[in-house]
Structure 1
């Protein structure tokens, strides 16, 4: 099974790019972030024509997450991260797909930092950590996947000294990520490529993509029940070079049956 994540940075504006990538890469399951569309504007017909069924949690102008599946049923488990009933941002959705609990997330950016946005990010991270602990108690295969807006280590960012005060790299944010991992999750990319420079995001400015000046912020965290099935992982870097593309690249893993 090939599972992918892709922050599309606007599902309708980038729809031709998304459809082209789906046709070429043919992932079995896809988690999308930053739909930037209300639920009624999700392009379901085009997604269906491409061979995928979908569930989604949209929001006007910002955020939004979705799970797509090819030749697999999607059984929604829940939407919205538990722990704050007043949080209306569309950043989290869970579904059973092919016997795996897929948890698609778009973690807050947190900038400018310090400030209210960083506070919200850290609170959201705490709620995610609490939910992740519950998921491990279910003793079922789980994947936490999506745009975490965190570079876990200096290996995950071009010129880390320039990012020390950024909300994606501040010590308390990285500590939150490592606390999550410490519950028993496996960072899929780092399991297979512990020392390799791998980036999943390239800013639109300063020719970042051409200079390979990127960040690794899109992650797959695997529960103990599934980490042993990991056989391959990668980043579709070429998609970042397509016309009118997202600033993120699709990232994928392959699992043994």
Structure 2
């Protein structure tokens, strides 16, 4: 294994996997018994977990639709997870056929599925890399082949930052991303923000610690806002994810749980040099 990918996990069907658990929540079939057992254990503590997963996915679709309407045609989807319905390149392509997308994940299962799905798509690539190494990601040949960082780009961090521990310096990671993108770029994220009983929260963390991630870290609304720093928030600001510009077709999942999963989008101020 090279120095570049030494931090990447290897495939295993013996340990619950975050991407496969999320796939199970969404009703997918790309998961194993160990993933289903871990997901079911979380559902015992959070019965709304599948609805929250669907609301999170619906937010991603709405966010990408908003961004294409604003003229954005480049997307970096960090911690992209397993390909499923409504992928970023599919949603963006509805109104921006020339949209360019770089999916990024450190999971070997995600890498295998994504590369099979994207084979032959020159405008959409997959980067097998770790979110904790933003400079490596942004300078990777795969990403720079389709993404021009001198032009506005949307950076998507949807339901991934709460899996970075404080020791991983998540705020430094996001700061590095903010600094590298051009004025007019957007930062999009969803993040867990607690709201459960303390015993239930610790039990959920323990389940995740037994999976492919080190655990989940809920952060306060103020902490989540700090990820945006001086970027300009898009209305309605930082809100529960199902309340961010909802559409009629999303109402079947209900309003979700206020405080459980917050969503927001912000724009980098300034104008590009002519």
> Common fold, TM-score beyond 0.5?
no
Identify, as 1 or 2, the structure richer in helix: 2
Identify, as 1 or 2, the structure richer in strand: 1
Q: Give the TM-score normalised by the residue count of structure 2.
A: 0.39
Q: Give the TM-score normalised by the residue count of structure 1.
A: 0.40
